[in-house]
Structure 1
């Protein structure tokens, strides 16, 4: 059974609930991005320093130390679990929209790939695979774009269609 373009037919109360959910979720999502920007400036060297420390740099303004294994595992574990639930819920909502089928399928799967690459990449960077900082940036960009396009599509579909009267 294929679900296709049903979100605009949901009862008004459910549509309001979905709009509130994606709004509050977006506050949390972009708050997290703000934290990433604050701690790494979203720059490759700063990402490396954030996880591997800078104690060898005597000119560093702020001294940072390499994260220990427990910290890294907590970061990776917590983010992969929580964000996979977020992207699963967004994908379920996206499945009920009428956007282009190929785009919809891409937006439903891509965040999971980027999630593994981003947070698996943080672990690999921590183990010494330094070039993975670039994968972390690229996958983070794709994850964010997928999130934004999905949430905007869901919101647009809810707000742009009028309920069909029977």
Structure 2
């Protein structure tokens, strides 16, 4: 069964629920990015401080303590589970679009690598492999890029793409 371009043939009700899903999901995703910006300043030192603390810095404006193993495992566990479901659902929807096949495959598969690298990297950072903060930044960038590109592609295909009449 070929599903290439199938989204154009979905009933209006299905298209509407997909658009609503993508909008609400995007609000949550960008809210999460806002939280990351607030807690880490989107910097390598901010990531390190957020997870490893800064109690040795006497000049720190806000005192932060190293996350406990339970806190860290909860963050890693929750994010890996929830983001894998989110990106699985996006990949299923994206599979029905008619965007470039190589781009589609990249956007469908890449987030799963980024999830492991981002949250595995946070765990390794917490364990003392501090250079992994750069892997966390890079994989977080690719995860965000994939989310943005996939959701824009899906919305464009539903709202603006014209069916080719045969």
> Is the structural similarity TM-score above 0.5?
yes
- If the length of structure 1 is used for normalisation, what is the TM-score? 0.97
* Aligned residues: CA RMSD: 1.4
- If the length of structure 2 is used for normalisation, what is the TM-score? 0.97
Structure 2 residue 12 is the aligned partner of structure 1 residue 12: yes
Q: Which residue of 2 aligns with 1:64?
A: 64
Structure 2 residue 19 is the aligned partner of structure 1 residue 23: no
Instruction: Count residues in correspondence.
Output: 166
Unpaired runs of 5+ residues, structure 1, are none
Q: Which residue of 1 aligns with 2:76?
A: 76
How far off its partner does 1:46 sit? 0.7
Q: Which runs of 4+ in 1 moved over 3 A?
A: 161-166
How far off its partner does 1:164 sit? 7.7
How far off its partner does 1:3 sit? 1.6
Q: Counterparts of 2:35 and 2:53 in 1: how far apart (Å)?
A: 17
Q: Which residue of 1 aligns with 2:43?
A: 43
Q: Counterparts of 2:164 and 2:50 in 1: how far apart (Å)?
A: 52
Q: Counterparts of 1:119 and 1:140 in 2: how far apart (Å)?
A: 9
3-state SS in 1 of match to 2:66? coil
